[in-house]
Amino acid sequence: MRQSELFTKTRKEAPKDEVSLNAQLLIKGGFIHKEMAGVYSYLPLGLRVLNKIIGVIREEMNAIGGQEVFLSSLQSKALWEKTDRWNDEKVDNWFKTKLNNDTELGLGFTHEEPLTAILTEHISSYRDLPKYIYQIQTKFRNEARAKSGVMRAREFLMKDLYSFSKSEEERKEFYDIVADAYHKIFSRVGIGEKTYMTFASGGVFSKYSHEFQTECEAGEDIIYVDEKKNIAVNKEVLTDEVLSDLGLKKDELVEKKAVEVGNIFNLGARFSESLGLTFKDEKGESRPVIMGSYGIGPGRLLGTVVESLSDDKGIIWPELIAPFQAHILFIGDSLDVRKEAERVVNELEKKGVEVLYDDRDVSAGEKFADSDLIGIPIRILISEKTLLQKKAELKSRKTNEIKLVDIESVLSKDLDVLLKL
Amino acid sequence: MRQSELFTKTRKEAPKDEVSLNAQLLIKGGFIHKEMAGVYSYLPLGLRVLNKIIGVIREEMNAIGGQEVFLSSLQSKALWEKTDRWNDEKVDNWFKTKLNNDTELGLGFTHEEPLTAILTEHISSYRDLPKYIYQIQTKFRNEARAKSGVMRAREFLMKDLYSFSKSEEERKEFYDIVADAYHKIFSRVGIGEKTYMTFASGGVFSKYSHEFQTECEAGEDIIYVDEKKNIAVNKEVLTDEVLSDLGLKKDELVEKKAVEVGNIFNLGARFSESLGLTFKDEKGESRPVIMGSYGIGPGRLLGTVVESLSDDKGIIWPELIAPFQAHILFIGDSLDVRKEAERVVNELEKKGVEVLYDDRDVSAGEKFADSDLIGIPIRILISEKTLLQKKAELKSRKTNEIKLVDIESVLSKDLDVLLKL
C-alpha cells in the first residue's frame, strides 16, 4: 500500500487526556482513534494488526476442535435473572438499555448465559458431548476506571471459548489442551517469553483459576514468578498454603508487574444447573453439563504487545502481527531512485509480501521517524548512494541493525532470511 | 466437517412467535438462534454463510479502493448533538445507555458522525482527497416492529462505506463505481437477477437516492420495474414527474414486492459542515468535504437469499455462499459403504472442497430431509446399490436433478463441473 493513499497520518502528540503508553503510541501512529475514555476505534493500520491477532487465535481455537459462533450483544433480563447476574448489585459493570416499549435489555459483558440457553436446544445425550464453542465478539463493560488504553476498554473484542463436558475429568482434560493452545497463541504473537501461566483465585468451583500474565510495567497485577519452573502466582493468592500446594519457595520467586492476557475458569455446573442444560448419561440418568470458560482479548493483547515491545521511538511489532511485513522508503529527489523503489515494491508485492511504501514527498527525517513510530519489522531504504552500488539499506526495527544488501538479493530472498542477514 | 460433531441439530418446528420465513428456515436448519424479537445469534452454519457474504463484500470494497476500519458502537452525546441527531425526536431508533457516572451514551445506528470527526484529524488538503473508508460492524436500531427475521434486526452487521470527495463531480464519479461494485456483489451472492437499482427519495441533497431492491414476497417495499431497462422506481416516489425524468412509461412497469438490500446516499456537506471537516483547495481556500454513504447489511442479504431462493423443503444456497460446497451422505449399515463415503470425504477435503459429512446413525429419510433443509448445493450419496457400480448419486439442490456418476470422476472433477454433469 502507498502511504500517500492511507487516509491516516501520524501525529506528534497523543491527546492530553490519554495517559496509557499503548494508546499514546497507537494514536500517534494512526492505528486507533480515541472516541472517549475506554472506547477506541480501529483505523486501517490498527485493524490490520487486530485481524492478524484474531487470525492466530482462530487458527488455534479451530485446531483444538472449537466451533465458531457469533452471539448477540443485546441480552434479555429474564435470561440473566435465572443465574442471578442481572441485578446491578451482583454485577457492577453492566451497560443497560431499553426497547421503545420500556423492556430492559443488557449489553453482554460475557456470554455464559445465552450460550448455555442455546445449547439446551441441541444437547440431550452423552453422545452430544463434549463440545467446544467460541466466538470473537464485542463485549461491553461499564468499567469505573478506564485509564489503560486498549488494555482495559469499555467496549472491546473478546475471544470467549466455552467447553461443555460430561464430567469434571473430561473438562480437566480439555483445560490442559486449551492451556497449550494459549501458550502457542502468546508465543506466535510475540509475547511468549514474557507470559506466565499464573495461579489465581478460583471462585466457587475450584481452588485456583489460571491466568496468563504478561510481564508489563503498565500491568494492573502483581505476580510472583518461578523463572525455572515457568509458572507464577498472583499476589492475591500468595499464601504459605498455596506455595506448599504448588511446591514453590518464596525466596525463589521474582515479583513482576503484569497484565492478564488470558484466563481459564472452571464453571462446574453453575450455569447448566440454573439454565437446565442437562444430558442423559450412558445409564439414562439426567446430569448437568460441566462447563469451563476461556478468554483472550485480542485488543488487550495488541495493547500488551505495544506496552511490552516498544521503545522511545515507537512500536516494535513482532513479524507475525505487524500491519505490513516491510516498509519501503526512498530519499532524495532522483527519479531513478523513486523508480527503483517502486520496482522493489511491485516485485515484493508480486511475491505476496505485504508492503507499506512511503511514496510521500516529505523529508528523510520525517520518513525515518514515522517508520520507527509505525514499527514495521524491516525498513528497506533506497537512496542515490545505495542505488549507485545496486544495493538497498535494510534496517531491523527490533535490533536497529543496518545492512547494505544487493537489491536483487532483497527480491530473491524471503523476508525472514533478510531479517537474519 | 462431520455432522455428528457439529453441535447444532435441525429441528422440525421454528419457535411459534417467529413469523418470518427466513428466520423459520434458518432456525430449523440450525443456522441461527433467536434471542428475542429482532435479535439473532449466528450458529456455526449461519456464521459460515455470513462470513462468505462478508468476504465477497470486502473483496469488492477493497477493489474500489476502500480502506477498512472498525469503529466503536458506544457514541458520545456531544458528537451527535453537533449534527442535531442526538435527540430522540429527531432519531427515533436510538438505543441509549449510561456510564456509571450517569453520562449518557448511544449505541451507533450509523457512523457518519464519528468517522467525519476522525477525518478532521487526517484530512486538511485537496491532496488528501478523495478517500473511501468502510467497515463491517454491528449496528443497533431500536425498531418498533421486528417481524422480518434477519432482514430487519435490532442488532445487525452492516457494511457501511463513506466517500470523502473534493467536489460534487468527484463524488458522483465514485457513486457510479460503487453502483457497479454493488451489482457485482449481488450477482456473486446469487440474487443478481432479482435485484434492481431503484430510484427512491433523495433527502436534502439530491432528488433521488439509489436503493438496490431484491424481488421478494417478504419485502416491505413496493417497486415498479422496467424489465427491459433493468431499473426500478420505489412506489414512494412514483410520480409523473419522476417517470418523465427517468424516461419511463407507467404501463411498461411491473409492480413487485421487494426488500432493500443496499443503498447509496449523497450526503453533500451535511456532516462535514456540522463537524468542521474542511480542506484547503488548490487556491488555498477552505471548503467542506463532500460526502456519500453506501450501505449493505450482510445479515439482511443472507435473509433475502433465504427468502428468495428457498422451496418447501428448505434453503437453496447459491454456490459461493453455501456453508459447505458438498454434502456427503451414506445410507445403510454396510461398513464398506461407510468406508467409501469417508474416503470420498477425505479425498475431496484434500482437494480443498468444503464438505459436510453426514456420518450420523439416523434414517435415510432424516438424512435426506436435513440435507434439503440445510441446502448445500450438491448432495453426494453412497449406498450399497451405488457402490456396486462404483458410482455415487449426485443431486443438485437447485434443480433436484439426480445423476449416477463414477466415484473416481467425482474425485477428479471440480464441483462446478459436477453440478453441470
CB contact under 8 A, A33 and B128: no
CB proximity list for B54: less than 8 A, separation 6 or greater: B136, B157, B159, B298
Query: Distance (Å, rounded) from C-alpha B206 to C-alpha B204?
Result: 6
| Predicted pLDDT at B287 | 98
Searching chain B, which residue's CA lies closest to the CA of residue A39? B72
Q: In the numeric block, which cell numbers belong to residue B328? A: 456427503
CATH among 3.30.930.10, 3.40.50.1220, 3.40.190.10, 3.40.50.300 for A21-309: 3.30.930.10
Is A211 within 8 Å of A234 (Cβ atoms)? yes
Q: In the numeric block, which cell numbers belong to residue B155? A: 442488532
Q: For the segment A309-342, what is each residue's pLDDT rounded down to a tens digit?
A: 999 999 999 999 999 999 999 999 999 999 999 9
Q: Which of B99, B122, B144 sits opposite A142 (nearest CB)?
A: B99
* Angle separating helix axes B44-63 and B168-188, nearest 10 degrees: 140
Searching chain B, which residue's CA lies closest to the CA of residue A9? B122
Query: Distance (Å, rounded) from C-alpha B338 to C-alpha B329?
Result: 9
- The residues with which A34 forms a beta bridge, in sequence order, are A40
Task: Give the mean pLDDT of A163-168.
Answer: 97
Size of interface A-B (CB pairs under 8 A): 131
Q: Å from B129 to nearest chain A CA?
A: 9
Q: For the segment B375-392, what is each residue's pLDDT rounded down to a tens digit?
A: 999 999 999 999 999 999
Q: Which of A70, A104, A139 to mutate to test the interface with B (most CBs of B within 10 A)?
A: A70
**Among A135, A91, A108, which Cα is nearest to B97's?**
A108
Flag whether pLDDT at A24 surpasses 90.
Answer: yes
- Amino acid code (one letter) for B233: V
Is B291 within 8 Å of B270 (Cβ atoms)? yes
CB contact under 8 A, A72 and B144: no
CB contact under 8 A, B70 and A76: no
Confidence bin at A179 (pLDDT 50/70/90)? very high
CB contact under 8 A, B43 and A118: yes
Q: Which of A44, A69, A97 sits opposite B47 (nearest CB)?
A: A69
Task: Give the mean pLDDT of A140-164.
Answer: 95
Confidence bin at B205 (pLDDT 50/70/90)? low
Searching chain A, which residue's CA lies closest to the CA of residue B28? A121
Confidence bin at B416 (pLDDT 50/70/90)? confident
Contact residues on chain B for A73, CB-CB shorter than 8 A: 73, 138, 140, 155
Task: Give the mean pLDDT of B310-337.
Answer: 96
Q: For the segment B242-256, what is each residue's pLDDT rounded down to a tens digit?
A: 999 899 999 999 999
Contact residues on chain A for B33, CB-CB shorter than 8 A: 118, 121
Q: For the segment A273-293, what is each residue's pLDDT rounded down to a tens digit?
A: 999 999 999 999 999 999 999
DSSP count for chain A of H helices, then E strands: 13, 21
Q: For the segment B211-238, what is each residue's pLDDT rounded down to a tens digit?
A: 999 999 989 899 999 999 888 999 999 9
CB contact under 8 A, B95 and A95: no
Query: Distance (Å, rounded) from C-alpha A247 to C-alpha A245?
Result: 6
Searching chain A, which residue's CA lies closest to the CA of residue B127? A4
| Predicted pLDDT at B415 | 74
Helix (H) or strand (E) holding B268: strand B254-268
Searching chain B, which residue's CA lies closest to the CA of residue A107? B97
Q: Which of A7, A70, A131 sits opposite B47 (nearest CB)?
A: A70
| Predicted pLDDT at A208 | 82
Q: Which of A34, A40, A72 to mutate to test the interface with B (most CBs of B within 10 A)?
A: A72
Q: Which of A43, A138, A154 sits opposite B69 (nearest CB)?
A: A43
Instruction: Average the pLDDT over each of B28-32, B141-145, B280-284, B298-302 and give the range with the smallest value.
Output: B141-145
| Phi, psi dihedral angles at A348 (to 5 degrees) | -65, -40
Q: For the segment A97-125, what is each residue's pLDDT rounded down to a tens digit?
A: 999 999 999 999 999 999 999 999 999 99
**Among B158, B210, B206, which Cα is nearest to B179's?**
B210
CB contact under 8 A, B67 and A73: no
Q: Which of B6, B92, B96 sits opposite A97 (nearest CB)?
A: B96
Flag whether pLDDT at B367 surpasses 90.
Answer: yes
ipTM of the complex: 0.96
Q: Å from B300 to nearest chain A CA?
A: 15
List the domain boundaries for chain A.
21-309, 324-420
- For cell 463434549, the residue is A130
CATH class of A324-420: alpha beta
- What 3-state class would DSSP assign to A230? coil
Searching chain B, which residue's CA lies closest to the CA of residue A164? B7
Interior/surface letters A373-388, b for 16+ CB within 10 angstroms, e for the rest: bbbbbbbbbbbeebbe
In this structure, how many other beta carbons lie within 10 angstroms of the beta carbon of residue A43? 26
Contact residues on chain B for A44, CB-CB shorter than 8 A: 67-69
**Model pTM score:** 0.97
- What 3-state class would DSSP assign to B200? strand
Contact residues on chain B for A50, CB-CB shorter than 8 A: 70
Flag whether pLDDT at A46 surpasses 80.
Answer: yes
CB contact under 8 A, B74 and A35: yes
- Amino acid code (one letter) for A257: K
**E strands of B82-154, at which residues?**
95-98, 104-107, 131-140
Contact residues on chain A for B302, CB-CB shorter than 8 A: none
CB contact under 8 A, B118 and A76: no
Contact residues on chain B for A30, CB-CB shorter than 8 A: 122
A318 upstream amide cis, omega within 30 of 0? no
DSSP for A44-67, please give it: HHHHHHHHHHHHHHHHHHHHTT-E
- Amino acid code (one letter) for A266: N
Flag whether pLDDT at B37 surpasses 80.
Answer: yes
Expressed in percent and rounded to 5, the helix, strand and coil fractions of chain A are 35, 30, 35
Query: Distance (Å, rounded) from C-alpha B86 to C-alpha B354?
Result: 46
Query: Distance (Å, rounded) from C-alpha A327 to C-alpha A324?
Result: 7
Q: Which of B47, B72, B155 sits opposite A68 (nearest CB)?
A: B47
Is residue A265 left, alpha or beta, with left meaning phi > 0 and alpha meaning psi from -120 to 50? beta
Q: Å from B344 to nearest chain A CA?
A: 22
C-alpha dist (Å) from residue A175 to A163, A178, A210: 9, 5, 10
Q: Which of A3, A5, A7 to mutate to test the interface with B (most CBs of B within 10 A)?
A: A7
Searching chain A, which residue's CA lies closest to the CA of residue B133? A7
CB contact under 8 A, B7 and A76: no
Q: Which of B8, B47, B69 sits opposite A47 (nearest CB)?
A: B69
B21-309 and B324-420 in the same fold: no
| Phi, psi dihedral angles at B327 (to 5 degrees) | -115, 115
CB contact under 8 A, B68 and A75: no
